[in-house]
Amino acid sequence: MKFETAAGTNPIDRQKIVGKPVDRIDGPRKTTGTATYAYEWHGQVSNMAYGQVVASAIAKGRIVSLDLSHARRAPGVITIVTADNAGPLDKGPRNNATLLGGPEIEHYHQAVALVVAETFEQACAAAELVQIKYERTSGSFDLDTAKGSAVKPEDISGNPPDTAVGDFDAVFAAAPVQLDATYTTPDQSHAMMEPHASMAAWDGDRLTLWTSNQMIDWGVQDLAKTLKMPAEHIRLVSPYIGGGFGGKLFLRADALLAALGAREAGRPVKVALSRPLIANNTTHRSATIQRIRIGATEDGRITAIGHENWSGDLNASSAESGAIYSRPMYAGANRMTQTRVAALDLAEANAMRAPSDAPGSMAVEVAMDEMAEKLGLDPVQFRILNDTQIDPEQPERSFSQRKLIECLSEGAERFGWHERVAQPGSRREGAWLIGMGMAGAFRDSPVTKSAARVRLDGNGVITVETDMTDIGTGSYVIIGQTAAEMMGVPLERVVVKLGDSSFPVSAGSGGQWGANSSTSGVYAACVKLRAAVAQKLGFDADQAVFANGEVSQGDRRVPLAEAATAGNLVEEDVIEFGELDERYRLTSFGSHFAEVAVHAHTGEVRIRRMLAVCAAGRILNPKTARSQIIGAMTMGVGAALMEELAVDKRYGFFVNHDLAGYEVPVHADIPHQEVIFLEEVDPLSSPMKARGVGELGICGVSAAVANAIYNATGVRVRDYPITLDKLLDGMPQAV
């Protein structure tokens, strides 16, 4: 597949601006506090009211009585929205949970009312006066207990739940070296900095919603279906997002209730969810139970690999399947994967950074280390020995590129892997046990349809408009770099406008498709603008060169701005990738290395150094890409050592539902992190020749830490997070 401009070449390949580590163009606004987040659009509307969510105090049952009389009489109260007066509501196609409950209750902290008042304090005080009597019924809150009744889902994000190649059972049973181990990962919270928040205002039958949402068009369509109104009557605005990690992919209660509250109050209303509601009302990553079996010859070649996965969700709606990770990662002629999902009466489980692959790598990459030890092989060499250049389960679908071996080899050399002592518990520094661990990594990087609008004005400024979002990932700057490169202007002559449903529909932020797809949409729009400029200035569109703020051909040069002296030139286009994803598997690969120190007396774990090596096509901006990887590495450390939503299995809620109880890494937990990007371009992936990195960075990290802890202590923990209580009983005798 070729991607060319009218001039017959791809200007992106010049890499005068694209591929450079330039600063984020939105950085100054964010660091000075002038970037406007969802709860801060104070200057856009007047007469603002505040909404406070009243959430269910039970996990399963029904509301017997709902007494609003005391709350209605409280100072400042304007109105109260419940299921009784909200009008007919549908359920958005991407919502497993009902966002406004009553009388039936589906999960703990399901929203059952919104109190709207003149001030935030008045809304909070009045919400405490809402009196609700419940009839509690028994629920299912424990994945281990519900595992036996789990069912096969229809699919896993478009992938089949079960796969089989060859005769796994027979070949595994005959394998001279075998591993059969079970690993568990816990429920996890996105814990993003910015809470779920929305502000809504109606103008007749038209709604404007300022919110924090990763996928603008999804939000519009889901809200339109839920409110049973035309999508073209909704404008959704979300230019700055303080983190999402998948938790803001879908319509949530804050957005719906802000819209309902504003309609009922007859004035704008803003709603933010508290931390407990973010944990128990919005989505989370489901816990998993993963059984992995590997059979190999005595020389270390895998002959059979089986991976069974159980997770849970409200109404058994979607599965978090670690089995997805094992399918393309390592060779083995005889294979089996199975995915089952149990119905749990917890809040909805859904996408969290690298869904399925993050927890899958936490199990598979530890199993590979355990198998290497059984075989007496180095873990890096065992992985290299079992690399595959084709997808073992889809051999007809080639990888666009696969440089896993290069990532493993480069990582081992740069990290000093040869200094690792293979015998666990052998290296000490005083009271500290020192160990090294590593893991491979992969994450698919699909491409999806994405559109943009570009405008040239009489000052030679290029303005880009697309509903793409920036969730802290650097969308603004890479989109700006793309337009600057294409139009031959410096980056400071480009204005980027994002996150508004009045702009063309982009790929959005999620699934590791955002950067490559959205910049490709900008590329397509710029191709049309280049052609329009060439025609306006009398150049041959096939020969015109755009550089240094000019358009040239031969000896003739004309300032770019002259094309717009009679009025702005505006072009819009969309990129579509046809059957590309069906013909090629676009996948980013990597490796992770970690060194830890574990205190021999207490079991305290300290990360000492970390390294990631990534093969992800052309890196559009090394500075922002590195930031994505080190953020993902940090998140992987959290998953390895501390992150766990603790379930009260009697009453069905997450106990540690705030940032005091749900622990995430802080600066003191994280050492220097080194990131290496292999030099490569992927001409099959897009005109940008890039792939995704944002989710690749978390895959394998937790396993690398777990393997390092084992190398330090000789204690193999298969149940994440690896807390000191799981280490102490098996620690080597302290000296």
- Indicate the residue among 245, 277, 309 that finishes a domain: 277
pLDDT of residue 114 exceeding 80, the answer is yes
Q: How confident is the model at residue 93 (pLDDT cuts 50, 70, 90)?
A: confident
Q: How confident is the model at residue 3 (pLDDT cuts 50, 70, 90)?
A: low
Q: Active-site residue 571, yes or no? A: no
Based on the domain organization, do 12 and 27 belong to the same domain?
yes
Q: Is residue 677 part of a domain?
A: yes
Q: Show the tokens assigned to 532.
A: 């329009």
Contacts of 379 (CB under 8 A, 6+ apart): 368, 369, 372, 373, 438, 707
Q: Is residue 393 part of a domain?
A: no
**CATH code where residue 105 lies:** 3.30.365.10
Three-state DSSP state, 730: helix
The residue with tokens 């709603």 is 271
Q: Is residue 461 part of a domain?
A: yes
User: What is the rounded CA–CA span in Å between residue 73 and residue 51?
Assistant: 16
pLDDT tens figures, 614-665: 999 999 999 999 999 999 999 999 999 999 999 999 999 999 999 999 999 9
Based on the domain organization, do 668 and 639 belong to the same domain?
yes
Q: Is residue 550 part of a domain?
A: yes
Strands (E), 273-401: 288-296, 302-313, 334-343, 398-399
Based on the domain organization, do 676 and 557 belong to the same domain?
no
pLDDT at 673: 97
pLDDT at 94: 86
Based on the domain organization, do 129 and 222 belong to the same domain?
yes
User: Total structural domains in the chain?
Assistant: 3
Contacts of 18 (CB under 8 A, 6+ apart): 12, 478, 481, 482, 485, 618, 620, 621, 688
pLDDT of residue 8 exceeding 60, the answer is no
Contact 610, 411 (CB under 8 A): no
User: Taking Cα atoms as reference points, which of 362, 431, 320 lies closest to residue 703?
Assistant: 362
Three-state DSSP state, 265: helix
pLDDT tens figures, 442-487: 999 999 999 999 999 999 999 999 999 999 999 999 999 999 999 9
Based on the domain organization, do 90 and 31 belong to the same domain?
no
The average pLDDT across 60-85 equals 98
Based on the domain organization, do 201 and 76 belong to the same domain?
yes
Q: Is residue 121 part of a domain?
A: yes
Contacts of 92 (CB under 8 A, 6+ apart): 99, 221, 222, 223, 225, 226, 250, 251
User: Taking Cα atoms as reference points, which of 179, 184, 229, 221 lies closest to residue 204?
Assistant: 229
Q: How confident is the model at residue 5 (pLDDT cuts 50, 70, 90)?
A: very low
Mean pLDDT over each residue of the chain, to the nearest integer: 96
The average pLDDT across 320-343 equals 98
User: Taking Cα atoms as reference points, which of 681, 490, 688, 477 lies closest to residue 10?
Assistant: 688
Owning domain of residue 198: 49-138+194-277
H or E element, residue 363: helix 357-375
The average pLDDT across 185-204 equals 98
pLDDT at 96: 83
Q: Is residue 367 part of a domain?
A: no
pTM comes to 0.97
The average pLDDT across 8-34 equals 93
pLDDT at 735: 54
pLDDT at 486: 97
User: Taking Cα atoms as reference points, which of 298, 428, 416, 429 lies closest to residue 674?
Assistant: 416
The residue with tokens 């300032």 is 559
Lowest mean pLDDT across 86-95, 366-375, 397-406, 510-519: 86-95
pLDDT of residue 2 exceeding 50, the answer is no
Q: Show the tokens assigned to 487.
A: 């139009």
Based on the domain organization, do 572 and 665 belong to the same domain?
no
- Indicate the residue among 228, 254, 277 that finishes a domain: 277
The average pLDDT across 340-356 equals 98
pLDDT of residue 370 exceeding 70, the answer is yes
Q: How confident is the model at residue 581 (pLDDT cuts 50, 70, 90)?
A: confident
Based on the domain organization, do 619 and 692 belong to the same domain?
yes
The average pLDDT across 726-732 equals 92
pLDDT at 541: 83
Based on the domain organization, do 675 and 607 belong to the same domain?
yes
Contact 501, 235 (CB under 8 A): yes
The one-character DSSP state at 102 is -
User: What is the rounded CA–CA span in Å between residue 131 and residue 376?
Assistant: 65
Q: Is residue 306 part of a domain?
A: no
Q: Is residue 162 part of a domain?
A: no
Residue with the larger pLDDT of the pair 146 and 734: 146
pLDDT at 15: 96
Contact 453, 466 (CB under 8 A): yes
- Indicate the residue among 582, 601, 623 that finishes a domain: 582
User: What is the rounded CA–CA span in Å between residue 3 and residue 570?
Assistant: 22
pLDDT at 32: 96
